[in-house]
Structure 1
Amino acid sequence: MHSQRVPVLCPDHLPDGLCRMVAQIVDDITVALPTVHPKLRVEVGDPAGRPLLTFTVWFDHVRRTAFGVPVRMLRASVEQLRGDLAAKLQNAFVEEYGKPLPPCPGHEHSLAPEVRDVAVWLCPYDPGHWSCRIGDYRAEG
């Protein structure tokens, strides 16, 4: 287990639920890392006249990746948003660390985010092998 949580810096006017969701996803993804030093900033911007949330991940004070989420995506179901954010954040952390994150228990690959009735992490090769709701990896793992 890692010893520190990734700080998620959200603007004051973002809903607490969104900030908690992002923090839970990042906790799931980084559970297998011994120590992590990234900071994740969620900012609200308006590039090119399109409102969007910008997620910027800084690893050891160096901006490594950023991606935008159109504000219209926030109108999707909570579970669809959870799954979409999990996929984008997972890509950022896997690219940085070169490891399967979050790891599929007993296998050597990452779990895959998928939206069913709820957003879940599941084994991409054998969905019956292992799955849990995104945000609950620690509780299940």
Structure 2
Amino acid sequence: MSAVAERFVDQDLGHLLAQAHHAVYREFDEHVRAAGLSPVEWRVLATLHDGEPLTVSELARQVLSKQPTVTKLAQRMADQGWVVLLADPDDQRRTRVGATAAGRRLVRPLVQEAREHEARILQALGAGEARVLRRLLGKLTEL
């Protein structure tokens, strides 16, 4: 009987990270959609709810989307009253995006649910492994 050769995707870092992302957010995505948000709207509000306004390009980088997409999305979200578009005081050609009180109210319960969801998932690793995982993922994102 010959051993089955290991498939490339079973060890491919990109594939493993994508599978891990899917496993972590598959269930939580239902909560995001139930709140009336798309995944990228959730990422925008989660990014902005407890920080300073960001330029569209900074926001696009942080929410893992293209700048033109985030520009259009920010305008739609401003029309919803979830974000505010501000002129950048350092460069009038740039726009900054900040969460409004309504946007923060909308996302606050989801942020709490996300924390609880993450804690449940990380229980399988234990505190030490969870710290190591965060540290290693942080190193990868700095590349």
Superposition TM-score, scaled by structure 2 size: 0.24
Higher helix share: 2
Superposition TM-score, scaled by structure 1 size: 0.24
